[in-house]
């Protein structure tokens, strides 16, 4: 039976730890329940919001509508061949526990994405990425229900329109497709490891045996040292995206700031480091009332106590203005603002 909660606090459902309420909250554990909701009168009358682990969202006010939350859980081995396995996971599974389960089974590919907060269903939405890996390279299909007609659909990886921290689920189908399952193609040994990321390469030198487990451990350690733990300090990871600029803009900046990190993308564009830009504006480790930026990674905005979403937004605007005034670069949020 689908239970709908009324006037429900979202404090434990967003990693920023913002205390707002929603009119209605539906915890969906089976795909059929979402089909049932879509055909209900409540759904037709109210606005809705799909919520996963709440690790990439900032609530700025109470939500006047129905929140659809996934607790679809299961991890299933669908098939295998000599070199790979096909694993189907429920969208409500905790991402890091799922990564740990795969590492324990010696299935490779997800080790660089260890310790990312959130649930499995959110991974394809923003094509999570870290330390040279992106989840799009491991996804086979994304399954779910279209909320506009209540029909089930399975997206092949090519149909997902993945890009840097984006996908069809964050663009055309934003808030319209409820993901129920994600299927991953993971490797069997020998695994191909990605460790050409500066800090990872350096740390890995301390290990004799380099395998997916040790690589996962190294990344766990780097994240632990650099990023605040959401269980202790409310945050939603990187608040802004790394800006993509033309090579011409990058060249002009390089002349003035010789140490500016520039990551080439193609013959016309390059990616800058939002963390570096914010840092250079003196906004690292700053505190304003109940909010601030993390002292080791200024791209991460933090809740220092009982912050409201409005306070976080004000800090974000302040940082955005400082970066724009100094570098003429516009930072765009990576986090969904509601």
How far apart, in whole angstroms, are the C-alpha atoms of residue 108 and residue 189? Answer: 8
Catalytic residue, candidates 167, 238, 311, 322: 238
The answer to whether residue 334 forms part of the interface with ligand EPU (CB under 6 A) is yes
Nearest approach, Cβ of residue 36 and ligand EPU (Å): 33
Residue 10: HSE in the Cβ half-sphere, 13 Å Cα cutoff: 34
How far apart, in whole angstroms, are the C-alpha atoms of residue 59 and residue 264? Answer: 34
165 is catalytic: yes
The answer to whether residue 297 forms part of the interface with ligand EPU (CB under 6 A) is yes
334 is catalytic: yes
Residue nearer to ligand EPU on the CB measure, 147 or 230: 230
Q: Which of residues 131-190 bind ligand EPU (CB under 6 A)?
A: 131
Q: Is residue 70 within 8 Å of residue 2, measured between CB atoms?
A: no
Residue whose C-alpha is closest to residue 143's, from 105, 169, 117, 119: 169
Catalytic residue, candidates 143, 165, 167, 203: 165
The answer to whether residue 95 forms part of the interface with ligand EPU (CB under 6 A) is no
70 is catalytic: no
Please, what is the angle between helix 95-104 and helix 212-226, to 10°? 150
Residue whose C-alpha is closest to residue 91's, from 51, 128, 131, 61: 51
Nearest approach, Cβ of residue 75 and ligand EPU (Å): 24
CA end-to-end distance (rounded Å), the chain: 29
Q: Residues 238-277: x/- map of binding to ligand EPU (CB under 6 A)?
A: x--xx------------------x-----------x-xx-
Active site residues: 165, 238, 334
Q: What residues line the site for ligand EPU (CB under 6 A)?
A: 130-131, 237-238, 241-242, 261, 273, 275-276, 279, 284, 297-299, 334
């Amino acid at each position: 039976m689908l239970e709908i909660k009324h006037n429900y606090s979202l404090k434990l459902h967003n990693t920023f730890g913002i205390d707002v309420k929603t009119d209605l909250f539906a915890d969906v554990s089976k795909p059929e329940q979402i089909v049932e909701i879509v055909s209900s009168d409540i759904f037709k009358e109210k606005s809705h919001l799909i919520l996963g682990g709440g690790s990439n969202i900032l609530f700025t006010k109470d939500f006047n509508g129905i929140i659809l939350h996934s607790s679809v859980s299961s991890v299933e081995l669908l098939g295998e061949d000599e070199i790979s396995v096909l694993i189907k996971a429920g969208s409500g599974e905790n991402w890091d526990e799922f990564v740990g389960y795969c590492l324990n089974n010696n299935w490779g590919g997800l080790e660089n994405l260890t310790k990312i907060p959130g649930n499995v269903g959110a991974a394809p939405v923003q094509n999570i990425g870290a330390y040279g890996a992106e989840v799009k390279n491991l996804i086979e299909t994304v399954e779910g229900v279209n909320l506009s007609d209540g029909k089930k659909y399975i997206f092949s990886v090519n149909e997902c329109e993945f890009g840097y921290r984006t996908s069809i689920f964050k663009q055309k189908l934003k808030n319209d497709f409820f993901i129920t399952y994600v299927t991953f193609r993971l490797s069997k040994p020998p695994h191909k490891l990605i460790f050409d990321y500066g800090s990872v390469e350096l740390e890995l030198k301390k290990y004799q045996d380099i395998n997916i487990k040790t690589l996962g451990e190294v990344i766990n350690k780097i994240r632990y040292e650099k990023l605040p733990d959401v269980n202790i300090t409310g945050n939603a990871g990187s608040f802004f995206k790394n800006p993509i600029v033309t090579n011409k803009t990058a060249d002009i900046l390089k002349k003035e700031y010789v140490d500016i990190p520039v990551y080439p993308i193609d013959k016309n564009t390059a990616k800058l480091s939002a963390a570096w830009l914010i840092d250079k504006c003196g906004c690292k480790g700053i505190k304003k009332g109940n909010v601030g930026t993390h002292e080791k990674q200024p791209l991460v905005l933090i809740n220092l106590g009982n912050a409201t979403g409005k306070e976080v937004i004000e800090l974000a605007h302040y940082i955005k203005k400082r970066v724009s005034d100094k570098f003429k670069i516009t930072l765009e949020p990576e986090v969904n603002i509601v």
